[in-house]
């Protein structure tokens, strides 16, 4: 539900990096969003489109890659991926696939990362 502030954060990082690299146009932006982050990727994409209107990023393709959840179970010591296909964006309930424990250490899937950008540069 805080898609707006996340989208603003993403855009700010993209604009800074584009300017640092003398971009004349931003063609594509690749963002990785963890499945444990409580935001809806579709809504992020929509907001990025709207917010980038008056910036150098206008018209760029926004590609969202989801980061799968990985856990570390303190009960049975299972480490690794879980089945996260059916998770709800706002209430991801995760269980250990081996022992069912819910108190897990989440080792991956909680980040939102602007991974890279593809730009056109003047040379």
96 near Zn ion (CB under 5 A): yes
- Is the separation of the CB atoms in 8 and 49 below 8 Å? no
61 near Zn ion (CB under 5 A): no
Q: How far is the CB of 103 from Zn ion (least distance, A)?
A: 9
Q: How far is the CB of 76 from other proteins (least distance, A)?
A: 15
Q: How far is the CB of 67 from Zn ion (least distance, A)?
A: 21
For other proteins, give the closer residue by CB, 6 or 82. 6
Query: Binding site annotation covers 73?
Result: yes
Q: For the chain, what is the radius of gyration of the CA atoms?
A: 17
Residues in the chain: 123
73 near Zn ion (CB under 5 A): yes
DSSP states along 63-98: EEEEEPPEEE-TTT--EEE---TT--SS------TT
């Amino acid at each position: 539900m805080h898609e707006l502030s996340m989208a603003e954060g993403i855009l700010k990082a993209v604009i800074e990096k584009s300017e640092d690299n003398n971009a004349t146009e931003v063609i594509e932006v690749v963002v990785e969003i963890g499945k444990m982050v409580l935001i809806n990727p579709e809504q992020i994409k929509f907001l990025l489109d709207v917010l980038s209107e008056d910036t150098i990023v206008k018209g760029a393709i926004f590609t969202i890659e989801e980061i799968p959840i990985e856990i570390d179970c303190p009960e049975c010591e299972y480490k690794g991926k879980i089945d996260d296909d059916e998770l709800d964006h706002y209430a991801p309930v995760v269980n250990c696939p081996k022992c069912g424990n819910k108190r897990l250490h989440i080792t991956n899937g909680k980040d939102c990362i602007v991974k890279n950008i593809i730009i056109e540069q003047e040379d």
